[in-house]
Amino acid sequence: MTAPALQTTRQCPYAPPEEHTRIRDTDSGISQVTLPSGQIAWALSRLEHIRAMLTDPRFSSDRRDPNFPRFTREQPSFDIMRRSIIQMDPPEHGPARKAVVGEFTVRRMAGLRPRIQEIVDEHIDAMLAGPRPADLVQALSLPVPSLVICEQLGVPYHDHDFFQVRSSALLSRATTAEGRRQSVTELRDYLKDLIAKKAAEPTDDLLGRQLAQGNDPEDVLSLAFLLLIAGHETTANMISLGVVTLLERPEELAALREDPARTLPAIEELLRVYTIAEFANSRVAVEDVEIGGVTIRAGDPVLAMSNAANHDPLAFDDADEIKLDRGARNHVAFGFGIHQCLGQNLARMELQIVFDTLFRRIPSLRLATPADKLAYKDDVLIYGIHEVPVTWDDPA
């Protein structure tokens, strides 16, 4: 059986590839595609179908299943650790998620707000004191969420170069199988040593509290690995993409500056239109299932084209337009169902603080390179921008 190759390059930074849109506009919205690994997978492209899949126990999240959708030919590199919560299915998943979900409640996030504000202000201070143009990615987008997740987990921030280099290698499609496994091994060994130290000398941070609750250090290790990578790469890329989008819309940016209540709806729209982890909601069928009139057999890989779904005209009016006041939260940028992103409250708060503070403190901020000349990340699993040169005027 043959199927067309999956397109992974976006013609527009926020629009789905044309092939994804074509599949979505067929009668069923479902088609088979060939992944870069050579696997043939069912591709779901409509919001209704993806949300249905993500709440159906007949689809598994177990990334160690040999039939799980893969973008590389090698088997997963993460099998040297226990499965993390994103790889678990019920009944195993529920208790594991319950053990950590309290760390990400709205109330706990509110307690972090003053420190996040301080971190953002410190990095903006440093950017203003430095040369122009500045690279927003290195000055603000990457260090802010990196420092936040390090402090939350209890990981020394002075080691951030170590884990950023290795997490970048893991997310790059160009990394060799040997390089991927080496990165996983080195990160595992680093975190294993850190967790052993916390077990010997308890600390009041997320990892320390997990150990204090009696959770197995191997389970805490898998959790730490997941949160450390997810906690900075995703938010960092959304900061960069969001700033570029807002700078390209000066009238809407002015309205946002005048009324900070507009920021959160704008964030939801930015999350929807970019869908930076567009294939993260993929699964493997463990039973025969019918979706949209198509029968998916047990063992079939199922790819969720989440960016196409988040631009589904059946779910969103004028779906391909950026409407910063739309505020729709029925998108799947954070997933849906039992595996919905643990850190979504933290991500929203970080984005809100960064956008409100940056544009208030540097009202003359502008791109030093046109948006269409920026280097977008078509070569990695988390979409974003490699560099964002910005400049500004001296205060009057």
Instruction: Give the start-to-end residue ranges of the domains of the chain.
Output: 75-274+317-391
Under 8 Å between Cβ of 359 and 253: yes
The pLDDT, as a whole number, for residue 1 is 56
Q: H or E stretch including 47?
A: helix 47-54
Q: Is 62 exposed, middle or buried (0-12, 13-18, 19+ CB in 10 A)?
A: middle
CATH of 75-274+317-391, one of 3.10.20.90, 2.40.50.140, 1.10.630.10, 3.50.50.60: 1.10.630.10
Global confidence as pTM: 0.94
Per-residue model confidence as pLDDT tens for the chain (396 residues)? 589 999 989 989 989 999 999 999 999 999 999 999 999 999 999 999 999 999 999 999 999 899 999 988 766 556 678 889 999 999 999 999 999 999 999 899 999 999 999 999 999 999 999 999 999 999 999 999 999 999 999 999 888 888 888 888 887 777 887 888 898 899 999 999 999 999 999 999 999 999 999 999 999 999 999 998 888 889 999 999 999 999 999 999 999 999 999 999 999 999 999 999 999 999 999 999 999 999 999 999 999 999 999 999 999 999 999 999 999 999 999 999 999 999 999 999 999 999 999 999 999 999 999 999 999 998 788 999 999 999 999 986
Q: What are phi and psi of 394, to 5 degrees?
A: -65, 150
Quick one: pLDDT at residue 396? 64
Give me the pLDDT at residue 391, please.
98
Rounded CA separation 204/287 (Å): 43
- What strands, in cross-sheet order, belong to the sheet with 389-391? 134-135, 389-391, 366-367
pLDDT, residue 177, reads: 79
Q: Where are the beta strands (DSSP E) in 109-178?
A: 134-135
Of 316, 102, 104, 343, residue with least CA distance to 238: 343
Determine the pLDDT at residue 148: 95
pLDDT value, residue 133: 98
